Amino acid sequence: MKTFTLPGTELTVPNVVLGLMRIQEKTDEEVRTLVKTARDAGISFFDHADVYGSALHGCETRFAEAMQLTSSERAEIVLQTKAGIVREGPYFDYSYEHLVESVEGSLAALGTDYIDILLLHRPDALVEPDEVARAFDDLSAAGKVRAFGVSNHTPGQIELLRKSVSQPLVANQLQLSVTHAPLVAQGVAANMQGLDQSISRDSGTLDYCRLHDITVQAWSPFQAGFFNGVFLGSADYPELNAVIDRLAKKYDVPAIAIATAWITRHPAQMQVVLGTTNPERVAGAALGSDIPLTRAEWYEMFRTAGYSVP
Ligand SMILES: NC(=O)c1ccc[n+]([C@@H]2O[C@H](COP(=O)([O-])OP(=O)(O)OC[C@H]3O[C@@H](n4cnc5c(N)ncnc54)[C@H](OP(=O)(O)O)[C@@H]3O)[C@@H](O)[C@H]2O)c1
Return the percentage of the chain with pLDDT > 90, whole number. Answer: 99
Q: Is 90 exceeded by the pLDDT of residue 230?
A: yes
Query: What Cα–Cα distance (Å) separates residue 30 from each residue in 66, 70, 112?
Result: 9, 19, 21
pLDDT band at 191 (very low <50, low <70, confident <90, very high): very high
The domain of 278 spans 3-304
Encode pLDDT of 192-202 as tens digits.
Answer: 999 999 999 89
Is the CB of 219 within 6 Å of ligand 1?
A: yes
The answer to whether residue 34 is domain-embedded is yes
Taking residues 96-114, what's their average pLDDT? 98
Taking residues 249-255, what's their average pLDDT? 98
Q: What predicted TM-score, i.e. pTM, was given to this entire model?
A: 0.98
pLDDT band at 108 (very low <50, low <70, confident <90, very high): very high
The answer to whether residue 191 is domain-embedded is yes
Q: Is 90 exceeded by the pLDDT of residue 133?
A: yes
Q: Please report, for the domain that includes residue 240, its CATH number.
A: 3.20.20.100
Taking residues 101-126, what's their average pLDDT? 98
Task: Quickly count: other Cβ atoms within 10 Å of residue 197's Cβ.
Answer: 19
The answer to whether residue 60 is domain-embedded is yes
Chain mean position to CA 171: 9
The answer to whether residue 224 is domain-embedded is yes
Answer for the pair 154, 205: CB distance below 8 angstroms, yes or no: yes
- Sign of torsion, CA 117 123 129 132? negative
Taking residues 47-74, what's their average pLDDT? 98
Q: Write down the pLDDT at residue 1.
A: 98
Number of domains observed in the structure of the chain: 1
- Which residue type does 162 have? R
Q: Determine the distance separating the centroid of ligand 1 and the alpha carbon of 79, expressed in angstroms.
A: 18
The answer to whether residue 309 is domain-embedded is no
Q: Write down the pLDDT at residue 31.
A: 98
Answer for the pair 85, 49: CB distance below 8 angstroms, yes or no: yes
Q: Which residue CA neighbors atom 7 of ligand 1 most closely?
A: 219
Ligand 1 atom with least separation from CA of 274? 19
Is the CB of 13 within 6 Å of ligand 1?
A: no
The answer to whether residue 310 is domain-embedded is no
* d(C-alpha 40, C-alpha 32), whole Å: 12
Q: Is 90 exceeded by the pLDDT of residue 227?
A: no
Q: Determine the distance separating the centroid of ligand 1 and the alpha carbon of 209, expressed in angstroms.
A: 23
The answer to whether residue 276 is domain-embedded is yes
Taking residues 36-64, what's their average pLDDT? 98
